[in-house]
Structure 1
Amino acid sequence: MSDDGSAQMRQLAQLAEYIAVDYMEAVRDGQVVNDGEYQEMLEFSQLIVTNISEIQDKSADTGDLTGQAKALQAAIQNKQAIETIRQMSGSLRGTLLALMPQSSLPDHLLSKA
C-alpha cells in the first residue's frame, strides 16, 4: 500500500474514532439532541464510506471495509445506541489500522551489531 493509501486509512481511522467519541453529543435515546453534531456524524460517515470504496478499488486485500463502513453509516442514520456506534466504530478503526503496513525504522537508525 502506498504512503498516500496509508495516510488516507489513518485519517479514516481517526474519523471513526471521532464518531465513537462524539456521537453521544449528537444522539441520545434514539433522538437527535444536537443537530449540528448529528449532521457532522452523517457527513463523516459518508466520507468514510466514499473513501473506503476508493481504497478498495485500488487494493485487493482490504476485507469487508465497505460493508463495515455502510453498516456504521446506517446505524448513525437510524440513531442507534451509543454502545452500538462505539462498537462498530471501534471495529472499523481496528480493521483500518490492521491493514496499514507497519512503520519501519530507516536503515540508518537500526543498530549495526
Structure 2
Amino acid sequence: QAYKVQCPNSDVPRWMFCVGIVITSPLSAALSSLYVKRYFNATTKTATLNITKMIFEEMSRRIEELDWMEAGTRQQAKYKLSRMGQHIGYPDEFMDKKSIEDFYKGLKINKNNFFEAMG
C-alpha cells in the first residue's frame, strides 16, 4: 500500500523501494544483526583483519624506506597511516544480542501500523 501511495508512477521496482525503507528505518541495526549472524562468521572477520594489519605494517615499512621523502613528510605519512581505521565486515555489536536489545530498549512500535515504526 505504501508503495502505491509513495510511488504511483515510479520506475523504481517495489523490492528496491522496500529495501530502501528497511535500510533507512530505525530497525536497520536489528535487521543488519540478523543478516550478519546468518551470513558472516568471526573466523572470516578475524582473518580479514589480520590481512589488513599486515598491509598496514608493510605500508609503514615502505614509507620508512622512501629515501626521496623528507623526514617530516615521512613522519606525517606514518601518522596518517596509524590513524586510518579498519571497517571490515560488521560492527562487533551486531553479534551481541544484549547490545541490540539495549539499543532498542526505548523503542515503541504500534503493532497496528508497521510503517509508522519504519519511518
TM-score (norm 2): 0.29
- The structure whose Rg is larger is 2
TM-score (norm 1): 0.30
